[in-house]
Every structure is written in structure tokens, then in C-alpha cells.
Structure 1
Amino acid sequence: MQSLRIGFDARYASDHFPGIGRYITSLLPELSRLTGQHRLFVFTNIGQTLPTLTDAHVEIVSVRSSPFALTQQLELPFLAGRLHLDLLHSPYLVKPYLLPCPSVVTIYDLLPLRYPQTLSPNGRRFYRLALRLAARSARQLITISSVSRDDLAFHLRIPRERIAVTPLAAAPAFAPQPPDVITDMRRRYGVPRHYVLFVGSNKPHKNIDRLLRAWQRVLPELPPSLSDTTLVVAGKFDPRYPLPTVMAAGYGLQERVKVLSHVSDDDLPALYSGALLFVFPSSYEGFGLPPLEAMACGVPVVCAYAGSLPEVVGEAALTVDPHSMHEIADGILRVLRSPALYQFLRQRGQQRATLFSWRATAQATLAVYERVAATV
């Protein structure tokens, strides 16, 4: 394979794009280790924080335009031409659309089409336009699950062959944590000894309301040794939607639900590791990283049989109907009442998590680059 000059637009690694930022900061170090025979140009805005990339074949390129600025439609094509790029990878659908080289774009899911109420009318119009422009201007699309690939192929009416699947992975930090680390985390966040954990946002598809109603049914049925168990709801919450604290109070659960709105990424492995069980009743996911992170930490998982989640967890989790609070409650109780099922899911989950790695994601991504370059 000839040496390629690859551009990677890392400007989306910011607090505004937490999920995309994790994708970029996890993928880039592995990608830089694999592209030794190529040149990798990483586009960043001034003041951005990225993992240190010290490889000699990697060059950081400063870009004045922000990801949503109209000026990027001129600045990035200019930079791509000046650097003689063979291709540019945009990890978000808002991208430069007229480039002097082929482009690759990552589109994670079609949540705004599945749940249009998450955007304003103007936001929906902008999303649909940006989605069409991204699909038309890119030589190849990348997505993160087979379910998302099928969604993209159907809604954009493009061949599935134009869409590559590169699954995500839990970061290496997600592993069972020592007891003293878990104890320290519990002390700092006020987390009780026995808890069932949910990690995610409060957007409607995450199903927190139905989870809380299921938790009402669980509480009187808990095994005696776990009668003090609390539900911990952790994540970054959007004020446009009902907050978990308000929902819990509405059901009279404020004493049995602990809400954590700002958990440091560094503390997440300990938060997972200390949980009795991880529950994730989301009704739609492009991939579903939290269940995989929980499994990597050795925690049994109960999650929805919806979206890409069955593809991620395989037979290593107990799956339930996300639209049934009865099934969600029953799934939680089945695991907490059965030590045998608990151990089975714990072991199978850790085994399942090892099948996903950012090295494999980077290898699949590099293969996309090389295929695109070979068709020029």
C-alpha cells in the first residue's frame, strides 16, 4: 500500500460533543500507532485538549474555524489542498462539503430521526440537511453498529456497501477496581454500600421515567440482605427534559434514588465496579457504550432488547422489553435474587467485553481509509 496523507478533524473533541469527544480521544492514539507508514494530520482548534500524540508521522494542524463556522467550508478545503491530503475523516456530519480530496464521515446513529422531539423545528431541518450533505459529499460512511448501518442505508437510500461498521470499545481503564478505590469513590460521592446503577442522560429514549416506576416495584421485593439497596442515576442531564431528582420526588423515591449529575470520567470505573447490578433500559442506541463499560468492570447487566444493544451485549446480559416496567423490574429482581445468575452474567460480561477494543476499531478505520484511497 502506498503511503497516504490522512487528515483527521479532531475539532469535535469538546464538552459540547461528549460522546464524539470520547470517540476521537479513544481512536486517535490507536490510529496514530497504526499509521506509521502514512502521514496523519490532526486538525484542532487552539486551546483544545487532546491525548498526547508524539509519533513522528503525526502532525497537529491548527484551524481557526470552529466546527459550526461557515468559514470552515473555505479554510479546511484550503488546508487539505496545501497539505496534499489523500483523504479527510470528519467524525461528525457537519463537515466541509467541497474538498479537493475524498472524505470519510462518521455518523453514529439516527436519533434525531427516531426521536424528532429532541430537536427544535429549525434543528430538525438543519439536521436533515446536514445529514444529506454529509452522505452525498463523503466517499465512505462509517457507523458504529449494524443496526445503525441498516438505519442509514434505509433513510438515506444508499447501498449498505458504502457504510462501514467500526464498533466502539470500553477504554482500558474500565476494569474491576480494588475495594479501597471503590470505598474512596463512595465516600466522595455519598454513594451507599448497596446500589443498582444507571449511567446515561435524561433524554426521553433513555427511559429513566420507566426505570423509576420499575424501581418502585422492585423495592418491596428485594431480598432481605439487600433491602437497603438504592438506585443510583448518574450522568449529564439536559435541563430541557425532566430531571431525575424531580422524577424521583414525584414517585416518592427521593430516599431510595441517589442522583449524581457530575461524575468524573476517572471515577466511572469505580462507580461501575461497586454496583450490584447495572441497568440500562434505553429504547434506542447507536451502540450503547455504558453496558459494555459495566461488563468490563465485572458487573452483571440488565439492558433493553432494543436498537444495537443486543448486538453489543450478545448473550452476556439479561435483556428486557424497554417499554415494560414490569419486565425491567423482573429483570433486576431475577439477578439480585439468584447468586448463580449473578456470577454467570458477571463472568460472561467480562468475556464479552474483551471482544471489543479500540485497537480493532482503529484497524477497521484504517482499512476504510485504504479502500477509499485505492478507488481514487
Structure 2
Amino acid sequence: MRSIGIDIRMLGSQHGGIGRYVFELSKNLLEIDHEHKYLLFYNEDNCQREDVEFFRKYQNAELVATRARHYSISEQTSFLKILNKYKPDLMHFPNFNMPLLYKGPFVVTIHDMAHHKISGHKKSHWLHFQAYKKIIQEAAKKSRAIITVSEASKKDIVDYLQVVPRKIEVIYEGTSLPKDVPDEKVAEIKKKFLLSRPYFLFVGVLERKKNVVNLARGFDTLLKKYKYDMDMVVAGKVDKHYPDIKHHALDISFRDHLVFTGYVNDDDLAALYKGAYAFVSASMHEGFGLPGVEAMRFGLPLAVSNMDVFNEIYDNAAIYFNPMEPEDIAEKLDLLVKDKLYYRQLSKNAQERGMMFDWKKTAERTLKVYEEILV
């Protein structure tokens, strides 16, 4: 039986969307593929135990512990030794971080080129950024195949890393939140966060590229100009590199209508989606936009940034605005509130489009990439 290794060191919700990708891809691969043995390399010092223990039930999986953090010397030394010891027939790095001296065949997932496109505290550390550039360039160059999550990201990878397009496979992500949310659970979550008004919902880590400050200003303009009595819920943890974002977002007139939940588990998140009026995002760059896909599965209309990736993924389920113009954000949100016929049409479109995104399909197409290399 041939072996496939997967680097699951970014497993878990503390790693945001990539953590979700790693968990769901690994889970679905193990459920559909019994022709290969899977070696799952996890970081025992930085993982959620319940996530790791979940995979012990699969007979076609072996968990391998490491203490190598991303962007660390140990990633280039001790993690390399572990990979060389186990010698998987094919290795998958679901983020670009990899030991530069690894000689085995591998596939890499590059989700986006955000660090190239948007400056910020993470990029401003010169040595850190140089390490990032070196690793992602080498991963793209040496990999047998590159997986990415949208055509928009594929274009960026080709442009920034000079990769031939035929080497890149676009495979969409899926959704996994519970869909049957009892009304009692929605009422419970509204009570927990004191949500007595209709609310817009943003979901994501509070980092610079999410542009939460401008989103808050647009929402503030909506309430000032159009006199609505609504809230905006910001569901997600604060990125330690950007602790000032929440403070700046709260610097608006209607700050009492802005609700920060911090991290929420999947059950609470599903209830927040079900109870929301619409989903909003003023993000400046994304590789895919998973929260919006999750929102579509609940039939939520979307009001989002007018950029290529959102147009590709959300299509006719969204209304689009200029994320740098609070007035435009407010104008588009106003249209969603006052035009009920348009709102219902977007909701219908969202439900229909949301059905096309499925983690099993993600795993099936990823497995096909593996098998083409292993032939």
C-alpha cells in the first residue's frame, strides 16, 4: 500500500480558514480513499487535542507527532528528519510551509498571494517576509503540482511566482457547518450576545486584509444616513499581529450597534448565520472566501467587496461594493434592506449556488491530483 503524507500542523480553528481546510480535506480523504495509507504529521505543541484525536479512529491513517512550528529552524531541520524517516510516496503541504531541503515528491496548496499584495505588520518584519518569499517560491518551483482554491488565486500565483498555468489545479473548498439549526439555538445565541435587532454578519479573523474598519464605517454611515435600527456582528478572534483593528472599528458614532463575539464554535456560528439578515465582507484580498460560502448555505444574501474572487465564487448571490468607500458600502446595504424583492432573489440565488461547494468533492478532486502523480 502506497503512502500519502499530509502536513496537518495547521489543523484546527486557531489557524482560521486554513485550519478548516486541513481538517475537512484530511477527514474526507480518509473517508473516500482506502487504497492508500495516510501519514498525518501534526504539531503536538500547537494543536487542539480533540481535532487530533478525531483522526485516530481511521484505520488508514497514522498520526506522527512533531514539534516543528511554521517559519522555524525546526521546520527546516527536525521536521525534515521526520519526513525522511517516514518517506511518504507523496507528500501534501496544505500550506506552502515546507523544509527547503526536502527531496521527496510533493503537492502544495497555495491559498492566496495576500502577503505579496497587501503590506502589514506580518510583512513589515523584513527577515520574516524574506523567509516567506523563499519558501513559497521553492514550494511552487519544486512541487509536482500546485492546488489553489480559485481561478483568481491561480492568476495571482502565475503572475507573482512565474508558474506555468498547467501546473496549477483549481479545487474549490466546501462547507461543513450543521445546517439544521433549531430556532431555540438561534434564540439562545441572540440572548448570549444581546442581539435584539436585525443584524448583518461578518465572519473572519480580525486582520488587516479583512478591512473591518472600513466595513464598520460603512455600517455607521448606513445607520446615520438611512436611520435603520440594526446591528453588525463581527464573529472572529483578533489576530495578535493586529490588536488595534477592533479599537479603530469601534471609533464610530453607532459603536453600541457593533457586536464583537470573539471566537465562536461551529454550533454557535451556524446559529449566528441562521439568525442573520445578511452576510457582509469588505475584505481587500481573499483566496476563496469560505465564510460567504457558508452564509450561502443558509440562504443569506451577501454584500461584499467588488473583487475578482468574490465575483467568481459568489456570482449572483451577492451585491458588490467598493470596499474603500464607506458611502458605497452604506448605499449597497441600504438597497438590501429597502428592496425586499431584490433581497428575496439574492437569498434564492445564495441557496442554489451554495449547493455546489462540498468538501467531499474537494477531496475527490485532490485525490485525483495525487493519483496522477503516483502513477
Match of 2:328, SS state, is: helix
Does the 8 A contact of 2:90 with 2:374 survive in 1? yes
1:21/1:242 Cα in 2 relative to 1: closer, same or farther (>3 Å)?
closer
Does the 8 A contact of 2:71 with 2:131 survive in 1? no
1:244/1:153 Cα in 2 relative to 1: closer, same or farther (>3 Å)?
closer
Is 1:165 the equivalent of 2:170? Answer: yes
Match of 1:185, SS state, is: helix
1:138 is matched with: 143
Counterparts of 1:41-120 in structure 2, within 5 Å, are 41-46=39-44, 48=47, 49=49, 50=51, 51-118=54-121, 119=123, 120=125
For residues 165-195 of structure 1, give each alpha carbon's deviation from its aligned partner in whole angstroms, at most 9, with x where no partner exists: 111112142x363321100011112222311
Does the 8 A contact of 1:8 with 1:43 survive in 2? yes
Does the 8 A contact of 2:273 with 2:295 survive in 1? yes
Match of 2:201, SS state, is: strand
For residues 204-229 of structure 1, give each alpha carbon's deviation from its aligned partner in whole angstroms, at most 9, with x where no partner exists: 32222222222232114547xxx421
Letter of the structure 2 residue corresponding to residue 328 of structure 1: I
Does the 8 A contact of 2:303 with 2:318 survive in 1? yes
Alpha-carbon shift at residue 123 of structure 1 (Å): 2.2
Identity in percent: 29
Counterparts of 1:31-50 in structure 2, within 5 Å, are 31-46=29-44, 48=47, 49=49, 50=51
Separation of aligned partners in 2, 1:213 and 1:83: 52
1:100/1:213 Cα in 2 relative to 1: closer, same or farther (>3 Å)?
closer
Separation of aligned partners in 2, 1:310 and 1:82: 45
1:327 is matched with: 328
Query: CA-atom RMSD, angstroms?
Result: 2.2
Does the 8 A contact of 1:8 with 1:90 survive in 2? yes
Is 1:154 the equivalent of 2:152? Answer: no
2:346 is matched with: 345
Equivalences, count: 368
1:237 is matched with: 238
Alpha-carbon shift at residue 266 of structure 1 (Å): 2.6
State the TM-score, normalized to the length of structure 1: 0.90
For residues 79-109 of structure 1, give each alpha carbon's deviation from its aligned partner in whole angstroms, at most 9, with x where no partner exists: 4444442111111222123334201111111
Does the 8 A contact of 1:297 with 1:350 survive in 2? yes
Separation of aligned partners in 1, 2:239 and 2:103: 39
2:193 is matched with: 189
Counterparts of 1:168-317 in structure 2, within 5 Å, are 168-173=173-178, 175=179, 177-222=181-226, 227-238=228-239, 240-241=241-242, 243=244, 245-317=246-318
Separation of aligned partners in 2, 1:196 and 1:32: 37
Alpha-carbon shift at residue 147 of structure 1 (Å): 0.8
Does the 8 A contact of 1:195 with 1:276 survive in 2? yes
In terms of fraction of residues, the more helix-rich structure is: 2
Match of 1:285, SS state, is: coil
1:251/1:136 Cα in 2 relative to 1: closer, same or farther (>3 Å)?
same
For residues 200-252 of structure 1, give each alpha carbon's deviation from its aligned partner in whole angstroms, at most 9, with x where no partner exists: 233332222222222232114547xxx42112222212354464553344222
Match of 1:198, SS state, is: strand
Separation of aligned partners in 1, 2:76 and 2:221: 54
User: Structure 2 unaligned runs (5+)?
Assistant: none
1:70/1:242 Cα in 2 relative to 1: closer, same or farther (>3 Å)?
closer
Q: Which of 10, 15, 18 is the matching residue for 1:17?
A: 15
1:240/1:56 Cα in 2 relative to 1: closer, same or farther (>3 Å)?
closer
Larger deviation, residues 16-25 vs 305-314: 16-25
Is 1:366 the equivalent of 2:367? Answer: yes
Separation of aligned partners in 2, 1:15 and 1:39: 25
Does the 8 A contact of 1:245 with 1:254 survive in 2? no
Separation of aligned partners in 1, 2:68 and 2:336: 51
Letter of the structure 2 residue corresponding to residue 326 of structure 1: E
Separation of aligned partners in 1, 2:275 and 2:371: 43
Separation of aligned partners in 1, 2:205 and 2:66: 31
Separation of aligned partners in 1, 2:30 and 2:358: 15
Letter of the structure 2 residue corresponding to residue 7 of structure 1: G
